[in-house]
Amino acid sequence: MRGFRRCEPKEINSGIRIYFEPKASDEYESAFKSYEERSIVAADNFIVLVQKAIDSICDYPYSDRITYKNLGEISLKRYPYNLIFQIDEAKKVIIVFSLFHQKRNPKSKYKDLE
């Protein structure tokens, strides 16, 4: 996937990895392409802000709101997307389930995650 790196090992997260479910990867690629068509700068900024959200989860894994069945959710700054994720402590991995656009029907946010 374009532009992602693994969480840097720190004392708090000790090498937590990031895994994007296929749905989240598709949503990410679709959003990136949409921004890229309009502006390379917007597309690049989108990548940077998604990475900052991931870094925030890595640095402070339990500071984001838990919204549904142990799923965390963090909003991207300046872009209308929420990153929906879960932390698997045993496997030391953060699983990203969705990059949910805020204009989509909120009833569909967790539909495919059950």
What does the pLDDT profile of the chain (114 residues) look like in tens digits?
A: 555 544 443 334 557 788 899 999 999 999 999 999 999 999 999 999 999 998 888 877 766 666 767 888 899 989 999 999 988 888 888 889 999 888 776 666 666 665
> How far is Cα 110 from Cα 89, in angstroms, rounded to an integer?
21
- Provide the sign of the torsion angle of the four alpha carbons 23, 104, 99, 112, taken in this order: negative
DSSP assignment of 49-88, as one string?
Answer: HHHHHHHHHHHSTTSSEEEETTEEEEEPTTSSEEEEEEEE
Please give the pLDDT value at position 64: 66
Q: Which of 100, 102, 66 is nearest to 86 (CA)?
A: 66
Question: Could you tell me the domains of the chain?
Answer: 17-102 (3.30.2310.20)
Q: What is the pTM of this model?
A: 0.77
Please give the pLDDT value at position 83: 92
What are the b/e assignments for 90-113, b being 16+ CB within 10 Å? eeeebbbbbbbeeeeeeeebbeee
